[in-house]
Amino acid sequence: MRSAQQVLATSGPHATIDEFAAVAEVSIATLYKHFGSKEGLILAAQLDAQASWEAWMNETVSAVNDELEQLVLSFRLLLRIGETHPQSAQIAARSLVAGPIDFGLFTNDVGQRVMRLVATGVVKVDHVELRLQNVIAGLLAELARQFMTGKPNAAAADVAVEIAISLLGITPAKARKLAHAPLPSLPPISA
């Protein structure tokens, strides 16, 4: 899996099955036996990299007690994936060329957080699902911009987060404070 992720990070999904096998130091037949196809291997490697980042992000976010701060921190960490998980970011960036990136687990988690904030009265807006779609679209657009330019910009990322949370009815002053607060101490990245 790690070898496939290395190939995806450097060559992208257009790498040949021969490249994947050579880096993994296994036969092509072994890859087909375990993954069924090159596409199966790529999907498994992408999902594993994404799951690893999401587990790390959830561990980081769970150290914060306030639900709104957890939501904002998850947004900020998404837009810092290039700094915190460069290989996962490279995999996502190179995969973007092949088609849209699926952050389904992340977006489901965000949706659940927002619905809890609505239920507790922290978020008081109409058209919650539509606003949430726009929030996610805006964050993923900023992430794609970073991938396409190869220039992560923490300040621009935090402005994107500020704008995103304002769509959820957070006052401009509070959105600014939350989006630009110092980041907590980040846990180490497990291999």
pLDDT tens column, 138-168: 998 898 888 888 777 899 999 999 999 999 9
Residue 81 near residue 143 (C-beta atoms within 8 A): yes
- The residue-averaged pLDDT of 110-118 equals 92
Angle, vertex CA 122, rays to CA 65 and CA 105, nearest 5: 65
pLDDT tens column, 21-73: 999 999 999 999 999 999 999 989 988 988 888 889 999 999 999 999 999 99
pLDDT tens column, 168-183: 999 999 999 999 999 9
How high is the pLDDT of residue 68? Answer: 96
How high is the pLDDT of residue 88? Answer: 87
Q: Domains of the chain, with CATH numbers? A: 50-180 (1.10.357.10)
Helix (H, G, I), strand (E, B) or coil at 150: coil
